Amino acid sequence: MNRRMGKLAGIALLAIVFLAGVAAAVNTNPCSDGTPYGKCSNQSPGYICWVGGTGNTLMNAFAPGMPSSWRTMCSCSNFPGYVEVNGACAKNTCTDTNGATLGNWQCGAVKPQQCIWGALVSNASYCGCPAGQKADSGGKNCADIVGCRWNGTGHLTCPPSQECKWNPADNVDGGTCTPKQGCAFHNPDCQLSEDCITTSNANGVCRTKTGCQYNNPSCSAGQTCNQLTGNCDKNALDIIPVIPGASNASKTTGTTGAPGGFSCCCLPAAGATAMVGLVSYQRMRKKEEE
């Protein structure tokens, strides 16, 4: 009996020694990030190295059921740029793609990136999109806008007779192809008295034709517009020849001597001049009708 009891006592002693060795190993071994047992992690804010299921492991000091002393010992405020959010330490700054530091919720240099608890995430509905893109149906990512405003695959290209119009103040306006304004594209057409000039404007501008028949320029007093040449000629009375030896009254006195009449010698010349004017006028009318 005594011999049996001594044997059981020896086994118990060995078990105690074994468990003590295991406990000592657990208590002295660091966690995976090098944090000593019972200490707060310097690499994982808010975590403490403690005994886990298979050895020492990092545990969230703010998780439900953890000792309140852990929350104080591993406070998020011990780490610059971290705050406690929903039972864990979260970083409230980000490093932007250009190296700048962003505050929480701040948009980055590259749209649509936004800083959210230490990470750059896409948020197109808040930070917007690059030119030629808009927020997709989910509001997070950017999608191409189909329109003539931007070049590239999938965008519209206007034909030569049209141009792209858009609202510069509207970043999601892709533009619409509209007919070009100008007489070169018959929008509008010029009148018969105008020419379409494209020297200073490729789209064309209507300008009044040159010539007295278009009042460009107008004839002055004592001149008659030659409808064929567009030049201002002297009036017919001013070009009637004066017969040598005839008095000035012969120009103003008719056969009866009444003031305002023509001398018999001048009637043929006046008639010829009138015929020339009539023929010129008829030719001009025919040209305009064509």
Domain boundaries, the chain: 30-91, 212-289
CA nearest to 117, candidates 42, 66, 45, 68: 45
97-106, 144-153, 206-215, 241-250: least confidently modelled range: 241-250
Higher pLDDT: 161 or 263? It is 161
Greater pLDDT, 164 or 52: 164
Q: Which residues contact 50 (CB under 8 A, 6 or more apart)?
A: 37, 38, 56, 57, 58, 59
Could you report the per-residue pLDDT of 15-52, keeping only the tens digit for each?
Answer: 443 444 444 444 678 998 999 999 999 999 999 999 87
Q: What is the rounded distance in angstroms from the CA atom of residue 85 to the CA atom of residue 46?
A: 11
Give the C-alpha separation, 125 to 142, whole Å.
9
Q: Is the pLDDT of residue 266 over 70?
A: no
User: Pick from 26, 23, 97: which is nearest to 57 by CA?
Assistant: 26
Q: Alpha carbon of 144 to those of 5, 24, 101, 132, 176: distances in Å?
A: 85, 62, 29, 6, 16
CA distance readout (Å), 182 to 44, 152, 158, 165, 177: 69, 28, 16, 15, 15
Nearest 5°: phi and psi at 2? Answer: -65, -35
Q: Mean pLDDT over residues 86-99, rounded?
A: 92
The reported pLDDT for the residue numbered 146 is 78
Question: Is 232 in contact with 220 (CB distance < 8 Å)?
Answer: yes
With cut-offs at 50, 70 and 90, classify the pLDDT of residue 63.
very high
Q: What single-letter amino acid sits at 40? A: C
Dihedrals φ, ψ of 279, to 5°?
-65, -40
Residue of higher predicted confidence among 277 and 207: 207
Task: Give the per-residue pLDDT at 21.
Answer: 45
Q: What is the mean pLDDT of residues 255-281?
A: 50
Confidence of residue 232 (pLDDT cuts 50, 70, 90): very high
Residue 43 φ/ψ, nearest 5 degrees: -105, -25
